[in-house]
Amino acid sequence: MGETPLQGEAGGRARDVPAGRAAPVPARDAATVAVIRDPVAGDGIEVYLLRRKASMAFAGACVFPGGVVDPRDTDDAIAWAGPSPGAWGRVFRTDATTARGLVCAAVRETFEESGVLLAGPSAESVVADTAGEDWEADRRALIGRSLSLAGLLERRSLVLRSDLLRPWAHWITPESGSRRFDTRFFVALLPAGQRTRDVGGEADWVTWVRPADAIGQAEDGRILLMPPTRRTLVELGGYPTVAAVLAAEREIVTVMPRGAVVDGGPRAVLGGDRDGRADGGARVGPGEAG
């Protein structure tokens, strides 16, 4: 069983919600993407992490690119290649509209926070480089919400490549949380020719790191990892190559830690894979979605 100490408002709600003194707030749909690549030297994989600024949710934590679904992410006019929204819905056990929003949010947020765009001129190609000033202007317009993902793809005659994503996990913030997210986790290979870059905005530090090294830095107190990020890094670190990650069969099980008072202190408690209201899950292979 894993336990994470809770402080401030989160600690108070961990006492009040289970006791019925406060009601849970709704969880917002969100998506996050672990972008991976082969290391420059040696075996294993590397993953892209960024550290949230103090003003953001999960301030100071090292996370994967991601964020909440924008209502415009569900636009059915978005040019699409790869598994359909319906197929993704079956994987994550949700409706096609919600699944469309999740996949589009995954692609949009990855571009906003790393400069990596999972889209191409056709269903068989991917953008080769997004480092120019014109791309940077588009990225900032997405962040400022003056441009939607659909608008970006249409203007550049691109299609979203949902086949470049792999489903990985499903985590829901504890019911005691004051800001709650219903987050689907994805994995994606860094496209050939593209480069991540420190694009600022919601992060103050970015890095490529081996999963085991990131976990070691967290254990030494050098970085902060939230339980979902840590669990994902542990899982990714168990694969010898990027190809093995992308070929993995995953059982997508909903995990929701619970707020509780343990030994007199408020904590987020994580049991096994089916802690809290976790459901039965669905096993998916690389050919079923992604």
Q: Do the domain assignments include residue 192?
A: yes
Q: Helices 96-114 and 85-92: crossing angle, nearest 10°?
A: 90
Residues linked to residue 27 through DSSP beta bridges, in sequence order: 180
Task: Label residue 143 by pLDDT band (50, 70, 90).
Answer: very high
Give pLDDT, residue 200.
59
Average pLDDT over residues 182-203: 86
Give pLDDT, residue 23.
79
CA-based torsion, 80, 85, 86, 92: positive or negative: positive
The length of the chain in residues reads 290
- Kindly give, in sequence order, each residue whose CB lies less than 8 Å from that of residue 211, ignoring residues fewer than 6 positions away: 44, 45, 47, 233, 234, 236, 237
Query: Bigger pLDDT: 226 or 269?
Result: 226
Q: Please check the confidence at residue 126 and state whether its pLDDT lies above 80.
A: yes
Give pLDDT, residue 213.
96
Check: CB of residue 110 under 8 Å from CB of residue 65: yes
Q: Do the domain assignments include residue 152?
A: yes
Share of the chain above pLDDT 70, in %: 77
Give pLDDT, residue 197.
80
Query: What is the C-alpha to C-alpha distance for residues 203 and 60, in angstroms, rounded to an integer?
Result: 9
Q: Please check the confidence at residue 59 and state whether its pLDDT lies above 70.
A: no
Q: Do the domain assignments include residue 185?
A: yes
Residues linked to residue 3 through DSSP beta bridges, in sequence order: 269
Check: CB of residue 163 under 8 Å from CB of residue 287: no
Q: Do the domain assignments include residue 180?
A: yes
Q: Do the domain assignments include residue 34?
A: yes
Q: Please check the confidence at residue 192 and state whether its pLDDT lies above 80.
A: yes
Q: Please check the confidence at residue 230 and state whether its pLDDT lies above 90.
A: yes
Give pLDDT, residue 279.
47
Q: What is the CA radius of gyration of the chain?
A: 19
Residue 250 phi, psi dihedral angles, 5° rounding: -110, 140
Query: What is the C-alpha to C-alpha distance for residues 188 and 191, in angstroms, rounded to an integer?
Result: 8
111-121 tens-digit pLDDT: 999 999 999 99
CATH number, residue 157:
3.90.79.10
Share of the chain above pLDDT 90, in %: 65
| Structural domain of 117 | 25-242
Q: Do the domain assignments include residue 52?
A: yes
What are 111's two structure tokens? 């571009």
CB count in 10 Å sphere of residue 127: 19
Dihedral-angle region of residue 276 (phi above 0 means left; psi in -120 to 50 means alpha; beta otherwise)? left
Q: Do the domain assignments include residue 278?
A: no
Query: What is the C-alpha to C-alpha distance for residues 163 and 150, in angstroms, rounded to an integer?
Result: 18
Q: Do the domain assignments include residue 249?
A: no
The total of structural domains in the chain comes to 1
Secondary structure string (H, E, C) spanning 125-169: CCCCCCCCHHHHHHHHHHHCCCCCHHHHHHHCCCEEEHHHEEEEE
